[in-house]
Amino acid sequence: MNIIIVAMLLLVGRCESFEVGGGQELEVDLRVVKDANTRLIMGVEGEKKEDTLIVLKNGQKEVVKTFKNESNVAMSFVPVQSEDYLLQFSNLGKNPVIFSLERPETNEGALASQAEMNLSKKIEGNLQLIVKSQISLLGRQQMHLEKAKRTKSWIKKLSVLELILCVLVLYYVHCEVVKTFYSTKKV
């Protein structure tokens, strides 16, 4: 009865670590999707983790992979067809151990919430990158605005100087034209 409750918690909740007593077995159904990369990460923690057995079976109950006395296991595979795999964890020793499982990514079945969680993590990461780039852009714009404020007085001073010089040039040209006009009239 405990094993069924634990398996239901795995499928419904977010809990991924379970205490498996000595001589007990835990079975978990995993839905995998055809041609989708499936990744399983499993771990065993406890005092005596030497007497453990992890067996992965496909939909026809054929053994795909067996891990004996392993404390950390990571595997990745691409299933040929969509089906329910069975993951069996057996604690052959007398002491309880903690079995942890990172559920595979899928977009259907009872484990779809994990795919949504992974997708939300990716989106959150992308949004954090966007926020960081926007903060950087705002910082650069603020720095440019401060530089523009500092040069604003110089721009005003140079514009006034340019106007004064233009007026002086016009006055000089006017004076030269008048001199030329009077010099031609006397002749």
Residue 85 lies in a domain: yes
Rg, Å, the chain Cα set: 39
SS3 18: strand
> Are the C-beta atoms of residues 74 and 15 closer than 8 Å to each other?
no
- Report the chain's mean pLDDT, rounded to a whole number: 77
Residue 155 lies in a domain: no
Give residue-wise pLDDT tens across range 71-124: 777 777 777 777 888 888 888 877 778 877 776 555 444 444 555 556 777 888
Residue 33 lies in a domain: yes
Alpha-carbon distance 111 to 24, whole Å?
Answer: 24
Give residue-wise pLDDT tens across range 128-140: 999 999 999 999 9
| pLDDT bracket for residue 161 (50, 70, 90) | very high
Residue 27 lies in a domain: yes
Q: Domain residues for 46?
A: 2-106
User: Chain centroid to CA 48: how far?
Assistant: 36
Write the CATH number for 36. Answer: 2.60.120.380
Residue 22 lies in a domain: yes
What pTM was computed for the model? 0.46
Residue 15 lies in a domain: yes
Which residue type, as a one-letter code, is found at position 143? M
Backbone angles phi, psi at 178, to 5 degrees: -65, -45
- The domain tally of the chain equals 1
Residue 10 lies in a domain: yes
| pLDDT of residue 145 exceeding 60 | yes
Dump the DSSP string for 44-58.
EESS--SSEEEEEE-
Which residue type, as a one-letter code, is found at position 87? L
Residue 123 lies in a domain: no
